[in-house]
Amino acid sequence: MAVPTIPNAIALSAIQTEFTGSNPISISEYYSGAGRVPGGTANATSVVIPTSGTIRFSNFSGAANFISFTDTYNSGCGITITAPTGSTSVLIKVWGGGGAGAFGWPGSGVGLGGGGGGGGGYAERSVSVTGGSTQFTYCVGSGGSGFTESSGVNSTVTSAALPSTLTGGGGGAGKSYYATPSQAGGAGGTASGGSINTSGSNGSDGQNWEGGNGGAAGGSSGAGGTGGMMDAGSNGSAPGGGGGGGGADSGTGFMGGNGGDGRITFTWS
C-alpha cells in the first residue's frame, strides 16, 4: 500500500503507515536511507526521496516501502511465481528462443551454405499487482539446435492480471540446400500480448561456400550468430539470437549454430 499520490492529500500519518514509526513523529525521520525509508526509495514520478536537507510531503507522493528489483529467468517452464510483498506493479519482458542455422552441404566444385536462423520475438507489458497475491506462470523457450536444424521455442507468461498471454515467438530455423526454399534464412519470431511487440529479424540466406548470418532477437537484445565461411556457423547470443548457417567447401559440409535461448524478466516496483 503506497502513500497517496498528488493531488490527493498526503498526511504524515500516511507516511508513518507506509514506513513505520512511533508517535510522536516528524517528517525529518523519513529521509531516504536513514533507517525508516530504504535508501533509493523513489516516489510515483521516479524522484528519489531526499537523504538530507529540505524534505517535503510532496516528495512522498505515491512512494512505497519497496525497492524495485528484477528477477531474470533463462530456463524453466510451467513455473508459477507470486508478486513479492510490497510490490504494486511489474514490467514483464519476454524473448522467444532463436532458430538454428542450417547445415552447409558440399556441392560439385562449390560449397552450399545453410541459411541463418531467425531471431526470437520480443514482447513487454506493465501491469498492476497485489504484492503477495498476484501470480504469473512462465515458460522460457529454448533456442533451436544446429544438429537437428530446429526452430526456437515460444516463451510465454500467463496471468489473470494480463489481458492476454504475453508471447515472444521462437525464430524459424534456416534451410539447407536440400530444403525448400533452398538455403533460405529462417523467419524472425513474432510477438503478441504486449504493449510493445517486436518481431525478431530474419536470418540471411546461405551463399556459395558461406552460411547466412542469424537474425537478431526483437527488443535490441540477442545478436545473431555469424554464418560459417567454409566452417561451422556460430551460435546466436541469448536472449533469442538466431544461429549462423553452416558453411561448406566442395568436399565437406559444416553444422549451423544453435539459436540463443529465450529469456523472461520481471521488474517489480
* pLDDT at position 87: 83
For the chain, which ranges sit under pLDDT 50? none
User: Could you give the CA distance from residue 208 to residue 110 in angstroms, rounded to a whole number?
Assistant: 6
3-state secondary structure of 144: coil
pLDDT digits (tens, 9 = 90+) for 14-48: 999 999 988 998 999 999 988 888 888 888 888 89
* Bond preceding residue 163 cis, omega within 30 of 0: no
* pLDDT at position 269: 83
Cell reading at 131: 504484492
User: Could you give the CA distance from residue 204 to residue 222 in angstroms, rounded to a whole number?
Assistant: 16
User: Could you give the CA distance from residue 80 to residue 58 in angstroms, rounded to a whole number?
Assistant: 37
User: Could you give the CA distance from residue 67 to residue 10 in angstroms, rounded to a whole number?
Assistant: 21
Cell reading at 261: 535461448
- DSSP calls for 165-223: -EEEPPPPPP--TTSSSTTPPPPPP-EESSSEEEPPPPPPPP-BSBPPPPPPPTTT-SP
Contact 149, 171 (CB under 8 A): no
For the whole model, what pTM was predicted? Answer: 0.84
Contact 264, 95 (CB under 8 A): yes
3-state secondary structure of 14: helix
* pLDDT at position 240: 98
